[in-house]
Every structure is written in C-alpha cells, then in structure tokens.
Amino acid sequence: MTPKAIVFTDWDGTVTLQDSNDMLTDDLGMGHKNRMLLNDKIINNELTFRNAFKEMLDSVSKNGYNLQYCIDYLIKNVKLDPGFENTVKFCSINNIPLIVVSSGIDIIIESLLFNLLDPSLHKFIQIYSNHVKSPNEFDSWNIVYRDNSDFGHDKNQSILHAVNKYYGSSTERGTLFYCGDGVSDVSAARSCDLLFAKSGHDLVDICIRDKINYLEFNSFHDILSEIKKELNL
C-alpha cells in the first residue's frame, strides 16, 4: 500500500535530547568553547560541516578515546525525546515510513536505538547516515561520508531517494514531514511539505533568516499532534 506520508527526522538533538556528537566533543574532545567557534564558522559559511565534523571527532580520538568507549559513554548519558516512541508506534500502525536522515554516524545511532527504544519498534525505523571505519581500538576514526557534499550527507538526496522508493514516477505522493534542529537540516527542509524546527536551536534562526516556513516544536509529542491533524488521523 502506498504510504499517505513519510516522516523524515534528524537524529542528534532532534530524536535525542542531547546531541551525541556535541557531547563527545565537549566532554571528551576539544571542549565546548572550541566547538562553538567551529559552529559559528559553519553558520557563517566559513567552514563546511563536513570538515568541522572531522575536526571534532579527531579531537576525541586524539585524546585517546576509541569508538567503543564513546558508544558506552553515550548510552549512559543520552536520552531519547519522550514523544519519539509513540511517534514510531503511530507510524508503524498507519503504514507511514519513519526515516532517520543524519549527518552523524550509523553505528552510534543504531547502538542508542538498540539500548533506548522498545526492541519491537526497531524494524520500523530506517537510517540514512554517515559511517565510521575504526580498524582497531588504537586507530583514529575514519569517517566514511555518504556523499561528496559539504555536509558529508546531502539529506535532500536521501529524501529524494526515499520518495522515489515509495512513490516512483507517480504524480501523486503523500505528505513529506521533516523534523530537525540544525544547519545540516536546511537542504532537507526545502524538500518537504511541512518542516518541524526545534525550539531554541539553530534551525529556527536559519528559517527566520532565510524565510523558510516552519512549525516550532519542543518534543515529538508536538510533532505527533500536528501530523495527526495534517493527515486527519
């Protein structure tokens, strides 16, 4: 059955209450102050997210923390948005694909989902993200980006791929929702019918600056409520 909608969502800081990449950089890597300097450069188009992300993760590995240590650290300290589980349940019941499109790393996302979400719901979540190749515990993290874009993962392309997968060449398609919080979500935001931007985060400021329509949210409870209204469910 053709889905009546697709829900796309960023991961870090959107599905999770804490941004795992920021947490690793602040706590185990270069520290908050240096990360914010890189973040400002990204927002001002002085540095690509791709290069900044590598600098951040390199700072973690240079301090001696391997991938497994970092995953264990995040499992202990990261929590999921309290409304996310019900959103996944709603999507599974109503045949609505839920797809994580992230500029983060697949193994970290998968590990957090495995430990923090009801196991029966895992099969309903698809993940499009970057990959990391860590040959052994002493090596630095080698990021395998999803594509050659400035973000390392052009979320717009992943959305187009999913739309083609579910709707093909049909002139009719379902509603495309996107949930995000930061600069890497801008290209994805332009591809969807309804954008949810997290309150108090960079994406709201960018939407205001660039005149992008959006709905502000505090948790997935807000998102689920709006999706139900939009789809009359």
Q: What domains are there in the chain, each with its CATH number?
A: 5-17+79-231 (3.40.50.1000)
Model pTM above 0.85 = yes
Residue 136 has a pLDDT of: 58
| Rounded average pLDDT over 5-33 | 96
Which residues on neighbouring strands pair with residue 125, listed in sequence order?
98
| Cα 47 from Cα 88, distance rounded (Å) | 35
Residue 44 has a pLDDT of: 85
Residue 140 has a pLDDT of: 61
Distance of CA 137 to the CA centre of its chain: 26
136-151 residue pLDDT tens = 555 567 888 999 988 8
147-197 residue pLDDT tens = 998 888 899 999 999 999 999 877 789 999 999 998 778 888 778 999 999
Contact 6, 174 (CB under 8 A): yes
35-78 residue pLDDT tens = 999 988 988 889 998 999 999 999 998 999 988 899 999 999 99
| pLDDT above 90 coverage of the chain, percent | 73
Residue 169 has a pLDDT of: 75
Q: Which two tokens stand for residue 179?
A: 């949930």
Neighbours of 118 (CB within 10 A): 10
SS3 content of the chain, % helix, strand, coil (to 5): 50, 20, 35
Contact 174, 8 (CB under 8 A): no
What Å distances lie between residue 185 and 130, 192, 196, 197, CA to CA? 15, 11, 10, 9
| Cα 60 from Cα 139, distance rounded (Å) | 12
Q: What is the mean pLDDT of the chain?
A: 91
Q: Which residues are known catalytic residues?
A: 10, 12
Q: Which residues contact 41 (CB under 8 A, 6 or more apart)?
A: 47, 52
Residue 94 has a pLDDT of: 97
| pLDDT above 70 coverage of the chain, percent | 97
83-139 residue pLDDT tens = 999 999 999 999 999 999 998 899 999 999 999 999 999 999 999 999 987 655 555
Residue 225 has a pLDDT of: 97
| Angle between helices 49-62 and 20-28 in degrees, nearest 10 | 40
Backbone conformation region of residue 132, classed left if phi is above 0, alpha if psi is from -120 to 50, else beta: beta
| Rounded average pLDDT over 11-25 | 95
